[in-house]
Amino acid sequence: MDETPWWRDAVVYEIYVRSFADASGDGTGDLAGIRGRLPYLADLGVDAIWLTPFYPSPMADGGYDVADYRDVDPVFGSLADFDDLVTDAHAHGLRLMVDIVPNHSSSAHPWFQKALAAPRGSQERDRYMFRDGRAPLGPGEAEGEPNNWLSTFGGPAWTRVPDGQWYLHLFAPEQPDFNWRNPEVREEFLDILRFWLDRGVDGFRIDVAMGLIKAEGLPDTGPGFRSASPMWSRPEVHDIYREWRRVLDSYPGTRVAIGEVWTDSAEDLARYVRPDELHQSFNFAWLEAPWSATAFRKVIDDTLRAVAAPTWVLSNHDVVRHRTRYGEGSLDPSAGLARARAALLGMLALPGSAYLYQGEELGLPEVTDLPPQARQDPVFKRSNGELPGRDGCRVPLPWSGTAPPYGFGDGGSWLPQPDDWAELTVERQAADTSSTLSFYRRALALRRDLRGTLPDAIEWVPAPGDALFFRRGRLTCAINCGEGPVRLPPHERVLLSSGPLDGVDLPADTAVWLTDR
Ligand code: NOJ
């Protein structure tokens, strides 16, 4: 019997709910839209789906500002739609994970509204991070923010309320941070976990998992980054996940949690996945690496040294799509897509589990020319348009037809889709065996065939130039990040290549899976 728990080598597909499929025809994706596309996901060959937040929200940050953790925003459907989706996903053999947002709520959350109405020092304020300002530095000077922390989205991390106190928000002002040293907050989230577990979810993706606990006394930040900062990865955050793990383990089946942990250290990452904590944490190291065999090799070595069951991810709803990232700096316009396909073979050949972001299976590029008035990301708004923000990777998917909204729904799409996406639709690519979609399907099917037959360790094989060769049991993966062709490593058979091979040579920007038998 195969004892490997499902999550250890699962391929999980991220659904950015607003942009996947719109059944209601209002221009925004919804739960019923996802339900209608479950056959597509099952055919694609993924094991699980992760849904980004669909809870009632004023949408100051695309739903990562939650006003009610136990309901569905009407724009996305209802709790009944959610229950139907869980049932149908399971019937299609797909596990379903939801996003939980514990670092902050929406400023519209009833707890925050009560905190605003309550006096300083009250129990209501203690659920969030209210503080008095710093004394004025000199005569005529205003009182300053309680410390020097900056919001991830730009500007100070503090906003002042009418009675003079300040509250902390590591993200937008509409996203006040909870006080995780308050037992009421801890109890509330245990209850929220149970609410969704009782509805049948298979797991949670934990937003800003490294941010919940702030250093005592909220000291100013120095030049340190991420793992060495008073905001991130404080030791006490791990007690929270030990509590969460006990709740997950008390449910039948295998219910899991993956933390969104941005860190500069694989050792820090490893602490989140100790046996009594989270099952997985996102490993963003590859996503942050350039197109380079040396860089990839370092990421793989550092990761496998620190984490027994790692995860791999190339794109998500917060970063420039990897097809576009990998194309930057190349004179060849086809390099980005060729490299993106090659990177997939690398990621899927490694031990651990892989997270895909909707649309990468279609080879979608980042949309860089969205009109300013269409952009919604707070990063764009708070930087007064200096930073483009993350809307370019959130453009609704093209499903069919030759003109926008390309079968996304009947009512347009909340972000405009490019006019030249007709070639990229699911309909078009499903009918073309050389398309990126067909390539993803083949790679995922092969990975399924190989599942359980490969060891957890890899061995490096000497490679020429800027190429990377590694063996995992009978599978060899070769990726050529250099500019010219390299000779393929020894093999019996080619299982799959990301682009055409040239006889015994592996062309630039191409990867291949080879086998001994
Ligand atoms: C990470 C989410 O992925 C991102 O979209 C969001 O803006 C921040 N966390 C804040 O919740």
What are the residue ranges of helices labelled H in 310-457? 322-327, 335-349, 378-382, 426-430, 436-450
Distances (CA, A) of 315 to 254, 283, 284, 477: 26, 11, 9, 21
What's residue 142's pLDDT? 73
In-domain check, residue 281:
no
Average pLDDT over residues 240-256: 98
Q: How far apart are CA 142 and CA 259, in angstroms?
A: 39
For residue range 348-358, list pLDDT tens digits in order: 999 999 999 99
Q: Between these two residues, 31 and 144, which has the higher pLDDT value? A: 31
Q: How far apart are CA 294 and CA 409, in angstroms?
A: 43
Q: Is the CB of 61 under 6 A from ligand 1?
A: yes
Nearest to 168 by CA among 196, 142, 133: 133
User: What confidence category does residue 258 fall into, taking pLDDT thresholds of 50, 70 and 90?
Assistant: very high
Ligand 1 midpoint to CA 208 (Å)? 7
Last residue of a domain, one of 143, 177, 211: 177
Contact by Cβ (8 Å): 259, 206: yes
Q: How far apart are CA 510 and CA 53, in angstroms?
A: 36
Instruction: Inform me whether the pLDDT recorded for 1 exceeds 50.
Output: no
Q: Kind of pairing, strands 493-497 and 510-515?
A: antiparallel
Q: Of ligand 1's atoms, which has the minimum distance to the CA of residue 170? A: 10
> Looking at ligand 1, which residue's alpha carbon is closest to its atom 5?
318
Boundaries of domain holding 479: 454-515
Last residue of a domain, one of 159, 177, 195: 177
Instruction: Inform me whether the pLDDT recorded for 83 exceeds 80.
Output: yes
Mutate which of 61, 109, 231, 261 for ligand 1? The one with the most ligand atoms within 8 Å of its CB, which is 61
Average pLDDT over residues 75-96: 98
pTM score, whole prediction = 0.97
Helix axes 335-349, 436-450, angle to 10 degrees: 10
In-domain check, residue 60:
no
Ligand 1 midpoint to CA 385 (Å)? 19
Instruction: Inform me whether the pLDDT recorded for 223 exceeds 70.
Output: no
Question: Is 260 one of the catalytic residues?
Answer: yes
- List Cβ neighbours of 386 (8 Å cut-off, separation of 6 or more): none
Average pLDDT over residues 102-112: 98
Residue type present at position 328? E
Ligand 1 midpoint to CA 176 (Å)? 13
For residue range 361-384, list pLDDT tens digits in order: 999 999 999 999 999 999 999 999
Ligand 1 midpoint to CA 52 (Å)? 10
For position 158, which CATH number holds?
3.90.400.10
Bridge partner residues of 354 (DSSP): 11, 312
In-domain check, residue 167:
yes
For residue range 494-503, list pLDDT tens digits in order: 999 999 999 9
In-domain check, residue 504:
yes
448-457 exposure pattern, b = at least 16 Cβ within 10 A, e = fewer: eebeeebebe
Number of domains in the chain: 2
User: What confidence category does residue 226 fall into, taking pLDDT thresholds of 50, 70 and 90?
Assistant: low
In-domain check, residue 459:
yes
For residue range 297-307, list pLDDT tens digits in order: 999 999 999 99
Average pLDDT over residues 452-474: 96
What's residue 139's pLDDT? 76
Average pLDDT, the chain: 95
Question: Is 207 one of the catalytic residues?
Answer: yes
What's residue 3's pLDDT? 77
CA angle 235, 9, 276 (to 5 degrees): 30
For position 490, which CATH number holds?
2.60.40
In-domain check, residue 499:
yes
Average pLDDT over residues 146-172: 95
Looking at 127-201, which runs of residues are DSSP E strands?
130-131, 158-160, 166-168
Catalytic residue among 202, 207, 268, 509: 207
Last residue of a domain, one of 177, 200, 220: 177
Q: How far apart are CA 108 and CA 59, in angstroms?
A: 10
CA 136, 141, 146, 149 torsion: positive or negative? negative
What's the burial of 502, exposed, middle or buried (CB within 10 Å: 0-12/13-18/19+)?
exposed
Ligand 1 midpoint to CA 63 (Å)? 9
User: What confidence category does residue 136 fall into, taking pLDDT thresholds of 50, 70 and 90?
Assistant: confident
> How many helical (H) and strand (E) elements, i.e. helices and strands, does the chain have?
13, 18
In-domain check, residue 507:
yes
Q: Is the CB of 171 under 6 A from ligand 1?
A: yes
For residue range 395-442, list pLDDT tens digits in order: 999 999 999 999 999 999 999 999 999 999 999 999 999 999 999 999
What's residue 225's pLDDT? 54
Q: How far apart are CA 280 and CA 109, in angstroms?
A: 29
Instruction: Inform me whether the pLDDT recorded for 517 exceeds 80.
Output: no
In-domain check, residue 16:
no
Q: Is the CB of 377 under 6 A from ligand 1?
A: no
